[in-house]
Structures are given as structure tokens and as C-alpha cells.
């Protein structure tokens, strides 16, 4: 939305960021509902991310005052180009682990059966039995830390933190990519609302654009979510990577010499 609003709607970079923040909440809600209908949302992970992102979204929104429009647009474009390939890197690492037989460090899908009572291996088995919970706790802790960064990005770039959260979920968990997308959408709703309120107070929100943006993006997110849950994982990853890199590269090209 941000590049389109600066290119076609002729908003300033600051107005596009602020207005996008308001629209992202609607996109996240509609998209989350679409992915959740297919069971592709990890609510625990989303809550861990959102709880901390809400705390720093206001900081990110306030930081926009320190950037002129060109610097803000260039920082956003560089961010897109950097983040895009991380999804493909993760996919490659996962394939490598499968080939070598090394398991990932993400959520364990199911607990092992408990040993018979009185077994001589009780002590060792007790440690193994507790591992899924411990792994999940570590995972949620890392995601909460990621939420701090995502909140700043949400306020600074008007993106809902998705460009941070999607690669983080790819790299830190063993979620399939479709669940990564659903969880990202769920986690971006609260920080986007905080960011939108802050930008509104700073005069960066074009109020007349919010309703049509929310309506259009919500329809698009819900429809695309239904397509995404039926698609193979690898094309989704490449589409995400390609879109980010092309969008960021195009913006950097238009800003050359400025």
C-alpha cells in the first residue's frame, strides 16, 4: 500500500505510512479470519508477537519525525530488499535439515508417549517428556523479542510489522509457510492500531482514504487468504520474496541521485 499511495495517490511518504497503518489493521483482521478458517493461525505465537509490538509501535511512529520523506522511503526500500531473501534462505535450510536427517528446533508436533511407571529410564524420560513445553517457551520468548523490533517497523514504515514477523517466523519456527502468513496477519492487528492512533495525532493520516483502503484491502486479504491456504508452499515463498525485492528495488531506482 505504501508504494502505491506515494506513486498513484500522490501522498507524501509520511502520509502514506500513517494512512497505511490504519488500513493494515483491517487487512490483518480479514486475512486472519480467512487463514483461521483453515486452521492456519498459531494464536499463541501471534499473541507473543503482538504483546510486545504494541509497546514499541508508538516509538516507531514517533521516529518518522526524524526522517525526511526521501530518507524514510529509502530506508523502507532497503528494508524490503534485505528481508525478501530471508524466506528463501529458511526454505533452503529446512530442505537441508530434511536431507541430513537433522530435526528443526521449532515446535514439536506431538509429545512422545510417557514411559511405563517404575521404568529405570524415568529420570531421562522425564527430561524428554518436558522438552516440548520448554522448546515452546523458548520459541515464544524469541518471538516476543522479535515483536519489539516489529513494533518499531510497524510505526516507522506503516507495514504492520509483517516484513519483520514473516521472516522471523520462517527462521525461528517450523511452521509451514501458510501458517506463517496467517500468524503474521493476526499479530499485526494490535500494533497497527497503536501506530495508526499515534500517526493520527501527528497529522499523518488522510482520514478520507482510510475507509476505502480498509474495505479494499480486507476483501483482498480474505480472498487471497483462501487462495494461499490451497497453494503449495514453495511458490508462496518465492512470490513473497520476489514482490519485496522488486518493490524495494524499484523504489531505490526512482530515488537514485536524490
Is the pLDDT score of 44 beyond 70? Answer: yes
CA 51 and chain centroid, separation: 14
DSSP string of 167-210, one letter each residue: HHHHHH----HHHHHHHHHHHTHHHHHHHHHHHHHTT---HHHH
216 by Cβ neighbours in 10 Å (0-12 / 13-18 / 19+) ranks as middle
pTM confidence score: 0.67
Look up residue 57 and give its three cell numbers: 509501535
Q: What is the mean pLDDT of the chain?
A: 78
- The tens digit of pLDDT for each residue in 177-231 reads 888 888 998 998 888 888 888 889 988 888 888 889 888 888 887 888 788 778 8
Domain segments of the chain: what residues? Answer: 2-101+125-254
Mean pLDDT value of segment 232-250 = 82
Identify the residue whose cell numbers are 497503536. 194
Q: What is the phi/psi pair of residue 230, to 5°?
A: -105, -5
Amino acid at each position: 500500500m505504501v508504494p502505491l499511495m506515494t506513486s498513484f495517490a500522490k501522498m507524501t511518504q509520511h502520509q502514506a505510512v500513517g494512512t497505511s497503518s490504519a488500513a493494515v489493521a483491517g487487512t490483518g483482521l480479514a486475512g486472519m479470519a480467512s487463514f483461521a478458517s483453515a486452521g492456519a493461525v498459531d494464536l499463541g505465537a501471534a499473541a507473543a508477537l503482538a504483546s510486545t509490538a504494541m509497546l514499541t509501535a508508538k516509538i516507531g511512529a514517533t521516529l518518522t519525525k526524524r526522517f525526511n520523506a526521501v530518507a524514510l522511503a529509502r530506508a523502507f526500500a532497503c528494508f524490503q530488499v534485505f528481508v525478501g531473501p530471508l524466506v528463501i534462505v529458511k526454505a533452503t535450510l529446512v530442505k537441508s535439515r530434511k536431507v541430513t536427517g537433522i530435526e528443526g528446533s521449532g515446535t514439536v508436533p506431538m509429545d512422545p508417549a510417557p514411559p511405563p511407571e517404575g521404568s529405570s529410564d524415568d529420570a531421562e524420560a522425564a527430561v524428554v517428556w518436558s522438552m516440548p513445553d520448554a522448546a515452546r517457551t523458548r520459541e515464544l520468548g524469541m518471538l516476543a523479542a522479535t515483536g519489539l523490533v516489529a513494533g518499531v517497523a510497524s510505526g516507522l514504515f506503516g507495514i504492520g510489522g509483517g516484513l519483520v514477523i514473516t521472516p522471523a517466523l520462517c527462521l525461528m519456527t517450523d511452521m509451514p509457510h501458510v501458517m506463517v502468513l496467517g500468524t503474521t496477519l493476526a499479530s499485526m492487528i494490535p500494533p497497527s492500531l497503536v501506530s495508526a492512533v499515534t500517526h493520527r495525532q501527528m497529522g499523518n493520516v488522510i482520514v478520507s482514504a482510510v475507509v476505502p483502503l480498509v474495505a479494499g484491502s480486507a476483501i483482498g486479504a480474505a480472498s487471497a487468504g483462501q487462495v494461499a491456504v490451497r497453494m503449495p508452499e514453495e511458490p508462496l515463498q518465492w512470490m513473497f520474496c520476489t514482490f519485496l525485492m522488486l518493490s524495494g528495488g524499484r523504489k531505490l531506482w526512482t530515488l537514485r541521485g536524490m
